[in-house]
Amino acid sequence: MTNIDRRSFLKRGGALTAGSLAMGGPMQALLARSALAVGSTGVAPNNSGYGPLRPSRDIVTREVLLELPEGFLYRSFGRTGEVMSDGVPTPSSHDGMAAFKYGDRGFVRLVRNHERRGGGAFGDVSRAYDPKAGGGTTTIEFGPHPASPPLASWVSLNGTNVNCAGGLTPWGSWITCEENINGPDLPGARNQTYDRKHGYVYEVPSARNPGEYTVGTPILSAGRFQHEAVAFDPATGIMYQTEDPFGDGIGGFYRYIPPVRGRLDDGGALEMLSVSPVGSTTSTDLRSGQVPGTTYAARWVPIPNPNPTFTGNELIDIKAVLNQGTAQGAARFNRLEGAWYSDGRIFFTSTQGGDARRGQVWVFDVRAQTLTLVFESPGEATLDLPDNITVSPRGSLVLCEDGGGVNFIRGLTLDGRIFDFARNAVAGFENQEFAGACFAQRGQTLYVNIQTPGITFAIWGPWAKGAL
């Protein structure tokens, strides 16, 4: 959760830079012991102290929607179709999300993505970036207590396309990402139904008043590709980005350097991560054959044309940005999704990475400029296709699954061990993904979505019993 405004961000830059020189402490232990995370020795005993999962009832509706450890409670809200306080039915396909402190009374605002692929813009169509695109964001306001019901909810951005994940800025706004490059310049009726180009990132302020829409302004220089998530280094203002393309799943890890530090303006530089030697144009394949704990020296190669003109072949167009980087030796990953900044590090997931293709967790050290494989799943019973990610107040990782079977929220402890924290128990939708995990109320509450049928949860309880 953040409430750092732009002025404070600029004043604190020097101190943040000094503080991010070394990770130290528990997160260093996570990297040092990451080899423990593969195989049966990588499972945390007794679910990291929380104990077994049990069917748990919503404190309001009394439905069993989640399985949680004993002592944890939750309430659901913001379901698809519920009429928000602005009179608009809640859109479907809940995905990435972040929590922001609002005001000085302990209030919280969630900005939530909706990964809708069609159906036209929700809300006021006259304010939409593209009236024919069905994605966007909604904002929800709460009081200071974790069990408090929503006070207000409203459309905050509309007319964007397939808003999957995103990330929070150091100055208190949400960056929402389009996971599709549709637009009128692509062939086929599916793409020509749109009025404007898609495949960009957009900034959504968290502090706007209820009913105030954000003008959809794409950051063209940050790239037109299948964006998934972003994470900011507060010391530099650099935005790191993940890519989750359809087809073969090969994507890259990018950074966008805005022209003015402390703002996400257009006109900056886009670069792609490489772990090949300086001067090499060989692209390193990190999708498999990797050993947890392995660290690579990183460098960055420029993307000369981040907003390319498409050729008319969608399978080629979708790689237009990626290919500029790999031709210079940039690294290839398998479906990069969630990303989160913590303690001078960017943690991110490769959803189908690893020899078993069930997922990897990587960390990029922004000061040392190194890339390390923290965790690799040996099979779906351990971790099945990790997607959105966040870091808990105690420094452990929270991983949202998007697998084919019953999905879990998994925790990854400071010593590199994995455990179950929550199970999707929504009848008939157990195989639907968790998304948008984030903490608020000083770490007392975990907010998270189940994408379909579209439900948001607030979860609270005895966090101190375990690693989260």
DSSP 285: B
Distance, in Å, from the CA atom of 15 to the CA atom of 93, rounded to the nearest integer, reads 39
Other CB atoms within 10 A of residue 221 CB: 20
How is the chain split into domains, by residue range? 6-25+80-381+445-465
Identify which of 226, 441, 439 has the alpha carbon closest to the alpha carbon of residue 314. 226
pLDDT computed for residue 12 by the predictor? 31
The pair of three-digit structure tokens given for residue 58, joined into one six-digit string: 């919503």
pLDDT in tens, the chain (468 residues): 443 333 332 333 332 222 222 233 444 445 444 433 333 347 899 999 999 999 999 999 999 999 999 999 999 999 999 999 999 999 999 999 999 999 888 899 999 999 998 889 999 999 999 999 999 999 999 998 877 889 999 999 999 999 999 999 999 999 999 999 988 887 665 566 899 999 999 999 998 888 888 989 999 999 999 999 999 999 999 999 999 998 899 999 999 999 999 999 999 999 999 999 999 999 999 999 999 999 999 999 999 999 987 777 767 778 999 999 999 999 999 999 999 999 999 999 999 999 999 999 999 999 999 999 999 999 999 999 999 999 999 999 999 999 999 999 999 997 889 999 999 999 999 999 999 999 998 899 999 999 999 999 999 999 999 999
Residue 18: partners with Cβ closer than 8 Å, 6 or more residues away: none
Distance, in Å, from the CA atom of 52 to the CA atom of 59, rounded to the nearest integer, reads 20
For CA atoms 8, 13, 15, 20, the dihedral sign is positive
DSSP for 339-381 reads EEEETTEEEEEETT-STTSS-EEEEEETTTTEEEEEEE-SSTT
- Provide the residue type at 149 as one letter: P
Distance, in Å, from the CA atom of 213 to the CA atom of 39, rounded to the nearest integer, reads 48
Encode 293-320: b = buried (16+ Cβ within 10 Å), e = exposed: beebebbbbebeebbbebeeebeebbbb
pLDDT computed for residue 50 by the predictor? 97
The pair of three-digit structure tokens given for residue 82, joined into one six-digit string: 């519920």
List strand residue ranges (DSSP E) for 143-284, in order: 152-160, 163-168, 173-178, 201-205, 227-232, 239-243, 250-251, 253-257, 269-274
What is the helix (H) or strand (E) element at residue 334, kind and residue range? strand 333-334
Distance, in Å, from the CA atom of 179 to the CA atom of 51, rounded to the nearest integer, reads 37
Distance, in Å, from the CA atom of 92 to the CA atom of 408, rounded to the nearest integer, reads 21
> What is the 3 state secondary structure string of 86-104?
CCCECCCCEEEEEEEEECC
List strand residue ranges (DSSP E) for 89-151, in order: 94-102, 107-114, 135-142
Distance, in Å, from the CA atom of 3 to the CA atom of 169, rounded to the nearest integer, reads 10
pLDDT computed for residue 92 by the predictor? 98
The pair of three-digit structure tokens given for residue 210, joined into one six-digit string: 């209820």
Integer distance in angstroms from the first to the last C-alpha of the chain? 15
pLDDT computed for residue 209 by the predictor? 84
Instruction: State residue 64 phi and psi, 5-degree precision.
Output: -90, 105
238 to each of 71, 269, 393, how far by Cα in Å?
40, 10, 23
Distance, in Å, from the CA atom of 462 to the CA atom of 383, rounded to the nearest integer, reads 24
What is the helix (H) or strand (E) element at residue 314, kind and residue range? helix 314-317
Distance, in Å, from the CA atom of 175 to the CA atom of 139, rounded to the nearest integer, reads 13
Distance, in Å, from the CA atom of 188 to the CA atom of 183, rounded to the nearest integer, reads 10
DSSP for 431-449 reads TSPEEEEEEETTTTEEEEE
Distance, in Å, from the CA atom of 128 to the CA atom of 114, rounded to the nearest integer, reads 14
